[in-house]
Amino acid sequence: MTEWINVVMQGVLVGGLYALFATGLSLSFGIMRTINIAHGDVAVLAGFGAIALHNLLGWSPLLVTLAVLPIAALLGYGLQRLVLNRTVGEDILPPLLVTFGLSIVIQNGLLMLFSADSRSLPIGELSTASLALFDGLAVGYMPLLVMGVAVALLLSLQWFFSNTRIGRSFRATSDDPEVAGLMGIDRHHVYALAMAVAVAATAIAGVFLAMRANIAPTEGPSRLLYAFEAVIMGGMGSLWGTLLGGILLGVAQSVALKIDPGWGILGGHLAFFAVLLLRPNGLLPRTRER
């Protein structure tokens, strides 16, 4: 029994990392109704950026993370303002094609700069330190930190959307961009700000991924898949649904891995398929199912 409790607990904590990956994707869809194919590659780019800063300047992981976030936000704003705003509209194909091209550019750029070797961001004793619980159970400080950051980020975004003028502009533009424009809201600026927040959130996930495991330049598409599954399971555009979807995905993978070492990824895909069959709109959809 204790062994299975540990399996589920580890899956829940892995779900915190998946929720971080999915938050940026959920924001881009919830506000702009676009799916960023380069989402996973942006996370990997942030991870490699953190590794490069650490190697060049010798900064601690905390300082590296604080340095990466504003850079990621600026890149997200510029990308949306200068490129993606030209593709936003009724047709979903243009942003898909543009972000697909961006994905290829990022992957090949990372391969040129860092080669195909996988790398990680060293965090010292934090990588192995753990907190003893009961009956021989222990949980690592690093997974707990990731889950804590994921919950804190979602709480901050929830407060931001509900209690700030810019947050209310996000919600208004998401609900009806045409009416929001008539009320004096510059939707192109709002979209760019939303992408800045989304890319910054994705960068956090990428840096944590580099802390927890080795990352490779071509890893982006697989991370996009996990983020997409978490968003769909939780409900498109639902922040807390994103956390629930990430946890469900992590637990499914952890349980399947316990049953058979080759079933880990398959277990997550089966959970995704089951949610699609039973709750096509997700577990916590923004709107009621019809």
Q: How confident is the model at residue 41 (pLDDT cuts 50, 70, 90)?
A: very high
Measured between alpha carbons, how far is 203 from 50 in angstroms, rounded to an integer? Answer: 9
Percent of the chain whose predicted confidence (pLDDT) is above 90? 60
For 99-128, what is the mean pLDDT?
92
pLDDT of residue 287: 53
pLDDT of residue 290: 36
pLDDT of residue 173: 87
Residue 280 has pLDDT above 90, yes or no: no
pLDDT of residue 71: 95
**Average pLDDT along the chain:** 90
Residue 46 has pLDDT above 80, yes or no: yes
Q: How confident is the model at residue 230 (pLDDT cuts 50, 70, 90)?
A: very high
- Count CB atoms within 10 A of the CB of residue 183: 10
pLDDT of residue 184: 83
Measured between alpha carbons, how far is 126 from 21 in angstroms, rounded to an integer? Answer: 21
Q: How confident is the model at residue 288 (pLDDT cuts 50, 70, 90)?
A: very low
CB neighbours of 260 closer than 8 A, spacing ≥ 6? none
CATH number, span 2-117+141-278: 1.10.3470
Radius of gyration of the chain (CA): 19
CB neighbours of 249 closer than 8 A, spacing ≥ 6? 15, 18, 226, 229, 230, 233, 268, 271, 272
User: Counting every residue, how long is the chain?
Assistant: 290
Residue with token string 């924001």 = 27
For 224-233, what is the mean pLDDT?
92
Least confident range from 20-34, 96-110, 126-140, 144-158: namely: 126-140
